Structure 1
Amino acid sequence: MPSILAPRARRRRLIGARTISTTGSVTVHVGFVGLGAMGRGMARQLLSAGHTLTVWNRSPEPVEALVADGAGRADSPADAFACDAVVSMLADDRAVADLLLHDELLAAATAAVHVNMATVSPDLARRAAELHARHGVGYLAAPVLGRSDVAAAGRLNILAAGSTSDLDLAAPLFEAMGQRTWHLGDRPEAANVAKICTNFMLTSAIEAFSEATALAEANGIPATDLLDVVTNTVFPGPVYSGYGALIAERRYEPAGFRLALGLKDVTLALDTATASDVALPFAEVLRESLRHAIADGRADHDLAALAETARARKA
């Protein structure tokens, strides 16, 4: 059986990285690191698509659930990097750096490519790409658009950047996890910049709807009526309809996207702007709103809980 893996300098790669199933689909042995709310659904989609899966997570419960469904258990991230490809979905720069950016780990890896699907800084993406290249391991940045329910349904939009050969290797995995992959060039950090920009706009929209809801309610207009008007006229689409419904119903748990992660992403936008000599004045406003919401004990509530900060704010 021909291998999916193109030759790579000084690479010690497995020959059987790709097999063709009886249905004609491509299957890959994938290591998966990070089984949080998003990662669980993404890993399950890979398993459902017929890929061989080996999973690692700091807490054991998500691992046990996937092992019960046919995944293999990795005792360490190094075991995941002994597969043909690795997908990671970790919380932030620190988690990625602490767990995965080590010379020893990458020197021993047999994986052809590491697909980092977390929302991380452009600087981390650059450092990760350089370190992986030093050890002959491909590196792709592929952050995603979509909440945990979208991940569980395999309907994510994937923002991917890296070499064409690495993108080709990851294509069967993207097909399992997402509805569309957007190729953003050969620099991995480009995908992270695009994701940071998108999350900044998303959080801005939620803050705008939150403030508008507070104004409407103060004047006797139910949030549900405002939501009906807005989503059927000037702002149709999933952001206002989805987050607007959560705001109107004051339904913030279980969180599809936590406020604490929203603060992380807006901070990433501000840090990236500083490095790019770009001013983002509204991002400063957003960061303060997020900080107030978290100070009120809402760190683990859905991002839509920004509305409660807006409702409580007085002139």
Structure 2
Amino acid sequence: MDIGYVGLGGMGHAMASNLISKGHTLRVWNRSPGKAADLVAQGAMRVDHPGQAVASDGIVFTMVADDAALDQVVGGPDGIAARLGPGGIHVSMSTVSPETTQRLAALHAERGAAFIAAPVFGRPVAAASAMLFILCAGDAAARARVLPLLATMGQRVFELGPDPVSASIVKLGGNFMIMGVIEAMAEAATLCEKYGVPRTAMMDVMTQSIFATPLYVNYGKLIAQHDYANPGFKLSLGLKDAKLVLGAASNARVPMPLASMMHDRFLSALAKDRGELDWTAAALNVSEEAGLRSPLSRP
């Protein structure tokens, strides 16, 4: 297929590369043009504006950092919405608010185009190996067209019905649960460390017995070793998602005290200039509150 791909960060770049490897022709755009260089070498065409990635009745994927970035590439004279017409499909793979999803779906519908929300679970290494879990919600006919493409980027696609908001809210719910896992592992590891049990030993037991799942294994290793320097998901984005969860909870009148706590964890870490670290670095706050020296502290 002739496809547009907008947003070539760690996740988007890997997913675009997987589409090219399956024989699809891509027009790609990224705010930093250099990130498209190796994709161009693989056969993609780099364009100068997001709208130029779009064929009026074609399919365009977006994978950008937040709601503001998504609004920017969709709106305006050089944006996706201005070029995508009847029969066209915009597949948004970003984690954004239900309100943004609903608004963009309505914007495209006014032009006869479809909007599919398809956020993902998985870090860049999973994107590179096409092992993502992908959510998918929107118009049934549009979903049928994009499902084969999504299948090239992930190990499983979960269809969640005709309302794109369904995929957005399930994604936020999942990210909230990951925040809770980070906090629980950090507190348990810190408790064991205070009793003289190495964090790594404690985490080995847990991830090779009752919590032998990829999330606990991968995140547990980072937390046990305080290994946050190579982010698969930046802490600053964790704060963004905590805000989105709390916003959705407030709109639905759902108290979520753990989400409030994790918002403050991320905010505190950001105040300590940790926004560029992996979001598991929220565990450092737990260690510091227990009187342990931060591994990031200078002698």
Query: What's the TM-score bracket when you normalise by the shorter of the two chains?
Result: over 0.9
Cα-to-partner distance string for 1:76-103 (whole Å, 9 max, x where unaligned): 1111122721000011111111221347
Alignment correspondent of 2:117:
141
> SS at the partner of 1:180?
strand
The structural deviation recorded for 1:296 is 1.4
Aligned mates of 1:257, 1:66 — CA distance in 2? 22
> SS at the partner of 1:185?
coil
Alignment correspondent of 2:297:
none
Equivalent positions of 1:17-36 (< 5 A) are: 28-36=1-9
The structural deviation recorded for 1:108 is 3.0
Aligned mates of 2:108, 2:76 — CA distance in 1? 9
Please tell me the residue identity of whatever aligns with 1:43: A
Bigger CA drift: 199-208 or 298-307? 298-307
Aligned mates of 1:61, 1:231 — CA distance in 2? 39
1:127 lines up with 2:100 in the alignment? no
Alignment correspondent of 1:285:
261
Alignment correspondent of 1:172:
148
Equivalent positions of 1:58-97 (< 5 A) are: 58-82=31-55, 84-97=58-71
Aligned mates of 2:105, 2:255 — CA distance in 1? 27
The structural deviation recorded for 1:104 is 7.2
**TM-score of the superposition, structure 2-length normalised?**
0.93
1:113 lines up with 2:86 in the alignment? no
1:221 lines up with 2:197 in the alignment? yes
The structural deviation recorded for 1:37 is 1.0
The structural deviation recorded for 1:135 is 0.6
Alignment correspondent of 1:10:
none
> SS at the partner of 1:139?
strand
Aligned mates of 2:93, 2:183 — CA distance in 1? 26
1:37 lines up with 2:37 in the alignment? no
Tell me the percent identity: 42
Please tell me the residue identity of whatever aligns with 2:21: S
Work out whether residues 50 and 78 of structure 2, in 8 Å CA contact, stay in contact via their aligned partners in 1: no
Task: Give the one of 269, 272, 277 matched to 1:296.
Answer: 272
1:209 lines up with 2:185 in the alignment? yes
1:249 lines up with 2:222 in the alignment? no
- Show structure 1 runs of 5+ residues with no match: 1-27
Please tell me the residue identity of whatever aligns with 1:41: A
Work out whether residues 270 and 280 of structure 1, in 8 Å CA contact, stay in contact via their aligned partners in 2: yes
**TM-score of the superposition, structure 1-length normalised?**
0.88
> SS at the partner of 2:254?
coil
Distance 1:228 1:314, change over 3 A: closer
Please tell me the residue identity of whatever aligns with 2:154: G
1:276 lines up with 2:249 in the alignment? no
Alignment correspondent of 1:47:
20
Work out whether residues 38 and 147 of structure 1, in 8 Å CA contact, stay in contact via their aligned partners in 2: yes
Work out whether residues 101 and 131 of structure 1, in 8 Å CA contact, stay in contact via their aligned partners in 2: no
Aligned mates of 2:262, 2:143 — CA distance in 1? 34
Aligned mates of 1:254, 1:95 — CA distance in 2? 23
Distance 1:202 1:115, change over 3 A: same
Where in structure 1 do 4 or more consecutive aligned residues deviate above 2 Å?
Answer: 101-111
Cα-to-partner distance string for 1:7-31 (whole Å, 9 max, x where unaligned): xxxxxxxxxxxxxxxxxxxxx1110
Equivalent positions of 1:176-191 (< 5 A) are: 176-191=152-167
Alignment correspondent of 2:296:
none
Aligned mates of 2:13, 2:82 — CA distance in 1? 28
- Show structure 2 runs of 5+ residues with no match: 292-299
Alignment correspondent of 1:20:
none
Aligned mates of 2:185, 2:269 — CA distance in 1? 15
Alignment correspondent of 2:170:
194
Task: Give the one of 14, 25, 30 matched to 1:57.
Answer: 30
> SS at the partner of 1:205?
helix
> SS at the partner of 1:297?
coil
Aligned mates of 2:82, 2:187 — CA distance in 1? 51
